[in-house]
């Protein structure tokens, strides 16, 4: 595992629930010998894909990288790497690793049977998706957060009312602002920005209030409570 402690703890809990594994943590040092590992999870790949040149040379090794705001194809193109490894994208943002079913994107679709073998060994249910920025669930949730920010900015409803209305109306476990605070304003904003750049779809055009929160590194509830 390569990544920040909070995500690593969540992933470890998910993996440990299914099978008995020997799990090592790495700080992502490029001098490390990654050939000794049977499987690699890079939880920080969205923010730092620099190790792709190393992973790419690990022939037939399953490498799972957090690829929400950066697609696998974009990462390969940007680094000019020749992927000999089995490269898969997954959503390692806070709160998503514990979900019952993962979304997994593939760089090479013919490697899906190999992916299936790995996921069965890890005891994780999954669905394969297209290699696109935002994946599926984050794309939907982040768009809802953005729309909620527009509603709050217009003064139509309060943070609490919007969250409560969303939970009662859709039976979602969290309201949009609760979700944003749990995931973090930075990945929400930066994924929306990447989605808009990729699609030019107005649904992903970022609300000014959300942008302000991002620039100030503020949350919705904690900032409110600190006043």
Q: What pLDDT shows up at residue 227?
A: 38
Burial zone of 79 (CB within 10 Å; 0-12 exposed, 13-18 middle, 19+ buried): middle
> 23: pLDDT confidence band, cut at 50, 70 and 90?
confident
Report pLDDT for 20.
74
Q: What is the mean pLDDT of residues 13-30?
A: 81
Nearest C-alpha neighbor of 191 from the set 151, 149, 137, 154: 137
The architecture in CATH of the region 137-225 reads Orthogonal Bundle (1.10)
Q: Which of 5-19, 105-119, 166-180 has the lowest mean pLDDT?
A: 5-19
Mean pLDDT across the stretch 149-155?
96
pLDDT in tens, 97-125: 999 999 999 999 999 999 999 999 999 99
The pLDDT assigned to 189 comes to 97
DSSP 74-95: HHHHHHT----SEEEEE--STT
Would you tell me which CATH number, out of the four given (1.10.3470, 2.60.40, 3.40.50, 1.20.120), belongs to the domain 5-129?
3.40.50
**What residue ranges do the domains of the chain occupy?**
5-129, 137-225
Of 99, 98, 105, 45, the closest CA to residue 75 belongs to 45
Task: Output the pTM of the full model.
Answer: 0.91
Closest among 100, 102, 40, 101 to 68, alpha carbons compared: 102
- Helix/strand/coil for 102: strand
- In the chain, % of residues over pLDDT 90: 78
Cα R_g (the chain), whole angstroms:
18
Q: Average per-residue pLDDT in the chain?
A: 92
pLDDT in tens, 45-72: 999 998 998 999 999 999 999 999 999 9
| pLDDT (tens digit per residue) in 192-223 | 999 999 999 999 999 999 999 999 999 998 65
The half-sphere exposure of 134 on its side-chain side, counting CA atoms within 13 A, is 21
pLDDT at 156 over 70: yes
How many other CB atoms are there within 10 angstroms of residue 63's CB atom? 24
**pLDDT at residue 110 in the model:** 95
Number of neighbours of residue 11 by Cβ within 10 angstroms: 20
d(CA 196, CA 93): 19
Predicted pLDDT at 226: 40
């Amino acid at each position: 595992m390569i990544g920040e402690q909070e995500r690593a703890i969540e992933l470890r809990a998910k993996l440990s629930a299914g099978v008995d594994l020997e799990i090592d943590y790495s700080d992502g040092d490029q001098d490390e010998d990654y050939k000794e590992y049977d499987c690699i999870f890079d939880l920080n790949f969205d923010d730092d894909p620099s190790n792709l040149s190393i992973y790419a040379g690990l022939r037939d090794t399953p490498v799972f990288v957090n690829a929400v705001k950066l697609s696998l194809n974009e990462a390969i193109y940007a680094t000019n790497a020749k992927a000999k490894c089995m490269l898969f994208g997954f959503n390692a943002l806070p709160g998503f690793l514990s979900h019952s079913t993962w979304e997994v994107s593939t760089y090479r679709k013919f490697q899906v049977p190999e992916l299936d073998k790995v996921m069965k060994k890890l005891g994780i249910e999954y669905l394969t998706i297209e290699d696109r920025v935002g994946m599926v669930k984050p794309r939907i949730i982040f768009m809802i957060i953005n729309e909620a920010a527009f509603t709050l900015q217009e003064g139509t409803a309060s943070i609490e009312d919007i969250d409560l209305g969303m939970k009662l109306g859709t039976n979602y476990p969290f309201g949009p602002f609760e979700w944003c605070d749990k995931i973090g304003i930075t990945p929400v904003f930066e994924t929306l920005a990447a989605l808009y750049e990729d699609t030019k779809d107005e649904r992903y055009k970022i609300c000014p209030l959300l942008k302000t929160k991002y620039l100030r590194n503020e949350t919705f509830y904690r900032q409110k409570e600190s006043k």
